[in-house]
Structure 1
Amino acid sequence: MPAVIQTSGLTRTFQTKNRTVEAVRGIDLTVRGGEILGFLGPNGAGKTTTLRMLTTLLPPTSGSATVAGHDLARDPRGVRARIGYVAQSGGVDPTVTVREELTTQARLYRLPRPEAAARAEELAGELGLAELLDRKCAALSGGQRRRLDIAMGLTHRPGVLFLDEPTTGLDPGSRAALWELIRHLRDSRGMTVFLTTHYLDEADALADRLVVVDQGRIVAEGTPAELKSTYGGSPGASLQDAFLAVTGRSPAPRAETPAAV
């Protein structure tokens, strides 16, 4: 499959009161169409900063990238038109119903009112929210709210979906249900999913391919099986073992990074 996301030397620095912090230090990345890419690393590794650059929310300090065939710097509007983005904190208004939230999102994408209403029904049916359309968002469970977040990110039928730690705070049953939904999006639509996570079991179970980052750099990449075989050290090793081996090899001292990284 052709590359849907391609970066070269992508960097981002932040200026603090006393120093310049290198949050992302030269990311070279290729994501193929129709794959679930797990972007894995500890807190402060640069995962969210990289994701924010790729979704046009944060300009790179240097380097280049194309997303869905559009240059990140020269055509950010073209990038935004072709991607969906679900932030870790979500964006649901608790005071309105699920139907109102989905319809409003569709209207923001300039769908006429009848089409917006139909799109809300379609998304609710596909993501298991049909019975909840007239329920206030405040009354949704954590797993239901995350499904609604994803539905909102799919309103304009993007080809690439960015998910920033989507299962944080969910119970095991809700996490498993969300994993199935993400697989369904890839299998039924051929959607490319860029998933940041620090849950090793999630990365192992869900991602087709993993990119491990630490201190702003890529330190390993491959399929879960390849990483376990290369770094796990023994048959049947867990991704936890491989991850500890990979991060343990990073030579540079950890930099002090802003909390948002």
Structure 2
Amino acid sequence: MSDEGLIDRLILRESNAGFAKAINEAIAATPNDSDVLLLNPDAILDCGSLEQLRSAASELRDVGILSPLVYSGNTVKTTTAGRQPFVLPMLAHFTGLSRLCRRTSKFKGRYLYLDGQLQSVEPVEWVAGACMYIKRETIERIGVLSERWFMYAEDTEYCWRALTHGLSVVMLTDIGCFHAMGQSVKRSPSDDINVMWPRSLSDYYKTTFDPSPLTFAIWRTIFSLGLLSRSIVFFFRGRQSRNDALLYEARRFAKFAGAVWANADA
């Protein structure tokens, strides 16, 4: 993208090989001294946010990855950033403990609540690839995104890799970005695409952290029951209000819950 905010190069691919594959191809086409901003087509930076991200990137020397505060409308109370998917953060999120104690840092879960006690520069363990600012030094130190997954886990893994290489990951809460979360996936006719999020996250957790069989079973149970509980809530709300959109969400989250256990031998 040019300094005027205009697209000066467009890379067209003959097939869709996944998010990370496309991003890595784009990174390879960028100048060797430039930072990189990942921005989904359904994400819109607030006015002036790009300049603020650039400025913060140059000032925060030990930070490798930055993100604005990503919001998705009045019905979504969390932002797409938080802690890595260890057992306790997942338990805190899906039991509601992180919501009840969202102003207490020790109970921060997988996702951070927008009305939590957030600093202007909030240290996190992951941010979403929907809007991720990557410093050139980070790419030089840890490389590009993993292409193991078609989508959904590569951003979390990239942030973890940065952290393990001594680079911080931060969310700048004074900068905003609207993201119409999941809209492209909801339009997909493919069931594999629709349930890719829980499958990818499960595979990421297992392959990255190598949990014991018991720990992994506990983790999957927490994850799937949390998703199933949301499906039940959406179902009863949808039936009560005769809202087809809520009933659709109920079916979607039920599929998510089953997808966590899709690979029985994993």
User: Higher helix proportion, which one?
Assistant: 2
Work out which structure has the larger RCO, using CA pairs closer than 8 Å and 6 or more positions apart in sequence: 1
TM-score for both structures, normalised by structure 2: 0.30
TM-score for both structures, normalised by structure 1: 0.31
